């Protein structure tokens, strides 16, 4: 169980890297598949981690998780809307930057809210 949890934490960190790397460093302003799929993956792997932690009798801070879920939904919304606009030829770099910045905020919430 612990190994499985650690694998999902790894995927969670790779999702963070995909979002922040793409939006803020590699493809600034462009809604890449890495950004969109990273944002989707964070919601899935995050919810899986909540389930695995509860199954393993680890404490889960529901307020913190609620805040993280809201921020992650905002990240995914920014990424999906930016990608949809891009397909219509209406680029929106601010939405991409917002997704990247919100992902950094969520990482800060994860690590600093103890």
Residue that the structure tokens 């913190």 belong to:
64
Identified binder of ligand HEM from the candidate list 35, 36, 49, 95, rule CB under 6 A? 49
Site for ligand HEM contains 69 (CB under 6 A): yes
Of 65, 37, 73, the C-alpha closest to 49 is 65
CB of 75 to ligand HEM, least distance (A): 4
Site for ligand HEM contains 97 (CB under 6 A): no
What phi and psi values does residue 89 have, to the nearest 5 degrees? 80, 15
Total residues at interface with ligand HEM (CB under 6 A): 21
């Amino acid at each position: 169980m612990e190994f499985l949890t650690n694998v999902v934490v790894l995927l969670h960190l790779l999702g963070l890297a995909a979002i922040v790397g793409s939006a803020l460093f590699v493809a600034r302003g462009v809604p890449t598949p890495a950004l969109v799929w990273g944002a989707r993956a964070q919601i899935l792997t995050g919810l899986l981690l909540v389930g695995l932690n509860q199954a393993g009798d680890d404490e889960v801070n529901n307020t913190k998780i609620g805040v993280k879920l809201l921020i992650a939904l905002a990240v995914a919304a920014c990424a999906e809307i930016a990608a949809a606009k891009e397909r219509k030829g209406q680029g929106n770099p601010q939405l991409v930057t917002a997704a990247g910045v919100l992902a950094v905020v969520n990482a800060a919430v994860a690590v600093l809210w103890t």
